[in-house]
Amino acid sequence: MDDPPGASVKVFPTIGPELFHAVRAAHPTRVVLQVPAGLVRNAHEVVERLRAESGAPVILATRPCFGACDVPSLEEAPRADLAIVLGHAPIPNVRLPRRTFFVEMREPGGDPEALAATVAAANLPRRLGLVASVQHLDLLPALTAALAQRGFEVLVEQGDRRLAYPAQALGCNYTGAEAVADRVDAFVFLGTGRFHPVGLALAVDRPVWSLDPLQNQLEPPIDRARLIGRRQLAVAAARDARRWGILVSTFGGQNRSPTALRLQERARAAGREAELLYFDRLDPRDLEGRAFEAYVNTACPRIALDDGQSYPRPVLTPPEFLMVLGELPLAPYRFDTYH
Ligand code: SF4
């Protein structure tokens, strides 16, 4: 049932007639709908609407998705031959288990002229990189033009094959931003929340401002030095650990088994013990009571960076683990980019 990456993927901006028509045309036996945690409240209404509009049987995946990296497996919805995933763009290099429609939930709002005026009023550096959450990518061309009219030089580039769009923010991959970092003096992230500003600040050595496109609110850069200082403390806390658990996810877009095996070899060569631990979705309670003194996580990089405090022992990213082994310097800090 495996399809080559991208072969059976369709992308829709939002839930609407275009999607319903495509579902009808696909003649699915059964559809599985998966939503991110932020949309679970209304998920059952979406199921009802999909059923009514497409005529297809639709079930809801109970497990919300963190990204396009953890779409429903065949075991989670064995009889569904079409998956609909809300809120994410496809990850082009991730192999999918079945036909999948991504509904990116694009947000049409935001006034580019007003947003550019806000940026100009805050006296941001003239050379800017732009990065946006998928929901707000449609604003970029008009915002870039409006900023250019106010004397800004705006740079945007395509990242690597894990990113579907230029300027797209993905929590584990900011390679589009990295491609322009040497030619800009600051970044503006277009979106809401701290998740992407934090990731971007760890990935690029430039101030990262956040611009909420609907509220037209500009937030000053988060404290990059503090973020990195906290990670360096985690590295220091794990420096003397002898027994390591290497965490490996079985989710299609989070499985870095080859990386895990390489790290195991490096650990053993450095005189440390290291065992691989496989899981799908990691729960901190699964690591309680184990004899490991520290962990290195090869699954979603944000597990260590955002949720590390929830675990009973230090959890490092692969580059941080190489810092422990002395194979990478503590500075400059290396973000764990998932390619
Ligand atoms: S690996 Fe993590 S950051 Fe990357 S897409 Fe998946 S959930 Fe998002």
pLDDT tens column, 269-328: 999 999 999 999 899 999 999 999 999 999 999 999 999 999 999 999 999 999 999 999
The closest of 45, 136, 30 to 84, measured between CA atoms, is 30
The owner of tokens 């901006």 is: 13
Banded pLDDT at 79 (limits 50, 70, 90): very high
Which residues does a 6 A CB cutoff place in the pocket of ligand 1?
A: 66-67, 69, 170-172, 253-254, 300, 302, 338
State the distance from the centre of ligand 1 to the C-alpha of 60, rounded, in angstroms.
Answer: 21
Q: Is the pLDDT of residue 6 over 70?
A: no
Q: Is the pLDDT of residue 257 over 70?
A: yes
The CATH number of 112-222 is 3.40.50.11850
Average pLDDT, integer, range 134-143 = 98
Burial 290-326 (b: 16+ CB within 10 A, else e): eebbbbbbbbbbbbbbeebeebebbbbbbbbbbbbee
State the distance from the centre of ligand 1 to the C-alpha of 65, rounded, in angstroms.
Answer: 9
- Is residue 287 within 8 A of residue 245, CB to CB? The reply is yes
In the chain, residues under CATH classification 3.40.50.11840 are 9-103
The CATH number of 9-103 is 3.40.50.11840
Average pLDDT, integer, range 215-225 = 96
Q: Is the pLDDT of residue 3 over 90?
A: no
Q: Is the pLDDT of residue 5 over 60?
A: no
Average pLDDT, integer, range 90-111 = 96
- Is residue 201 within 8 A of residue 227, CB to CB? The reply is yes
pTM of the full structure:
0.94
Give the pLDDT score at 2: 43
In the chain, residues under CATH classification 3.40.50.11850 are 112-222
Cis amide prior to 314 (ω within 30 degrees): no
Q: CA-to-CA distance for 291 and 36, rounded, in angstroms?
A: 34
Question: Which residue owns the Cα nearest ligand 1 atom 1?
Answer: 300
3-class DSSP assignment, residue 232: helix
State the distance from the centre of ligand 1 to the C-alpha of 90, rounded, in angstroms.
Answer: 11
Q: Which tokens belong to 78?
A: 């064995």
Give the pLDDT score at 4: 43
In the chain, residues under CATH classification 3.40.50.11860 are 225-324
Mutate to test the pocket of ligand 1, among 102, 172, 248 (most ligand atoms within 8 A of CB): 172
Q: What single DSSP character describes residue 35?
A: -
Phi, psi of 107 (to 5 degrees): -105, 115
Give the pLDDT score at 24: 95
Which fold would CATH assign to domain 225-324?
Answer: Rossmann fold (3.40.50)
Q: What is the CA radius of gyration of the chain?
A: 21
- Is residue 112 within 8 A of residue 95, CB to CB? The reply is no
Average pLDDT, integer, range 99-121 = 97
State the distance from the centre of ligand 1 to the C-alpha of 337, rounded, in angstroms.
Answer: 10
